[in-house]
Structure 1
């Protein structure tokens, strides 16, 4: 009986409002839209809370060919995404606190005014061996958010510990090649260029660092311009000092793969590796570990 009475009351109210120009229908539609909007916001809020309450650990691509992904059991760390610059500052601060025993890169983005930085990390429980993947997107994303599993990294930083200094030095895989034609790279540095298997390689030495630029002959690429640009940059910037060996491998080709360029150096029984899709940014990222 109560239900019938309520339905009758609603029907009478609806007829009365309709007689006043259909305003009752408009109010009902507006109320429904607001209710739907609140329900949607509540669902979004619940989803975010679920993501942020995950346990702390995200994984990155392994140093081999396998890749592990961030799962629901791994945590997303909240970041302040008011602006790209603020987002980057917050992300770097969180990473520095997570891995306090190492000097992490402080320059990753190619354009900090237009890109939001985020990252995914392996467990901070192992301070002797870890990896960080960096991402640049057009919107803010929390650190270790599972959404990065479907995104393309722009760079990586890895620390790996070995049993001895000798084993670590061997893992650098330093390339020293003084064969081929000589090329003046400026600043008193001579490079040596030779070709193999459709590519040309331009190598030179700077202290304990060995550097090489690879260019594809098939694509009509030339190694010399990038090599000269790298030499000029390193005249004004200081790389970390390898204990005995360091290897920088750059490519003249354009690629969105973060493994396109690499910088590897030894510090005692530890090997640090930086990779970046942009050749010069790989150098800048490495230099920023001194800051």
Structure 2
């Protein structure tokens, strides 16, 4: 089975977190207030070139991400996605490549975020989460249906730069459930308000494999950048238009993506 990376995390959660993090003073380092809810619906179109061959697949994904403030310091989150993957697969019978399309759930996860401190323009939090097994994309650099059940711990720190502008860093360790290795992830975000109705958001998403036994696993790393426009859609609502591209990689796919999203806060 062809090997291909997750959209991330961080991982694909990156695209979803991108929209979530755009909400004023509500980046990952800022927990939701008790009873507050936010829902993020995204649609993504991704093209990926494997590390060891020509273009083999494309992916379309519809995903829903939700957060709920259990208390002022504790926020619960979850994500559910439907993926459609189109791949070029070599057929021995046809002696040619054939197009194979598969639709499945994938990239699903849930967890809890706990605020550590919030003082003036600074905030920090720690997040614990897990992924779930499915027949879709569950883990970085693996085939469809592989992995799931991974555990992740993520530290977040952010600083408000204006009413809507902010900068944030997230550092995470993800432990693969069925392998004795993990991943280090680093996500950076900056939002700049252009005017009263439009923001520009720049992000980078990085991942490095940490192999305890390099003779059993192939190491990999990847770095992607995303640029988005965020438009005010009225009370509690934001619209997103973003593009994402791989800027450096080692043993991972070269990815390009177009992302559309809408976020609503209650």
With normalisation by structure 1, the TM-score equals 0.25
Q: Which has the higher contact order (CA 8 A, sep 6+)?
A: 2
The structure number with the bigger radius of gyration is 1
With normalisation by structure 2, the TM-score equals 0.27
